[in-house]
Amino acid sequence: SIGYLKGLTELSLEDMEVGDLLYLSALNKLTKLELKKVNIPNLGFLQYLKKLTVFETDRKAEDESNIGIFEEMQKLKELIYPIGDMKIIKNSINLRTIGVDASKLEALEYISGLNITSITIFNAASEEDAKSTVSEFKKYFKLQSYGWQQTWKS
């Protein structure tokens, strides 16, 4: 049982079947959670992880109906998740690093008051599209780093 791991502060799961992830809600001391090559059914499990400062994944949840959960996660400094509608994180004052869904990017002006220094771009149609997204962010932020997942054909 994962209950034995309640004191865990960091967890990284990669390339595995993990089910609904609700069992992670018992790990309420987690400050860092990485899910790489992991299918995420929905984001509901995050509502119990109030101490998270880092949440990183390389894919979207299958059901994003509870994506608003990110608004409540005030301790987050790094949220590497493909977010399109920036209004979702407009009150997340501690965020420095975010993931951006280039194919659905909107409402960038809503987060212009945040201190974003790094972005990871998801779902760009081309390298030009990724660079264009970086340019949009540079209008509002002094980026120290940026990168993207190449999902287009070279």
In which band, very low, low, confident or very high, does the pLDDT at 152 lie, cut at 50, 70 and 90? confident
| pLDDT attached to residue 20 | 87
The identity of residue 73, as a single letter, is M
Q: Confirm if 116 and 143 have CB atoms less than 8 A apart.
A: yes
Share of the chain above pLDDT 90, in %: 85
Dihedral over Cα of 99, 117, 71, 33: its sign: positive
Q: Where are the alpha helices (DSSP H) in 15-141?
A: 69-72, 127-138
Statement: residue 1 has pLDDT above 60: no
pTM: 0.93
| pLDDT attached to residue 103 | 95
Statement: residue 18 has pLDDT above 90: no
In which band, very low, low, confident or very high, does the pLDDT at 125 lie, cut at 50, 70 and 90? very high
Q: And the tokens for 65? A: 């109906």
Q: Confirm if 105 and 133 have CB atoms less than 8 A apart.
A: yes
| pLDDT attached to residue 2 | 65
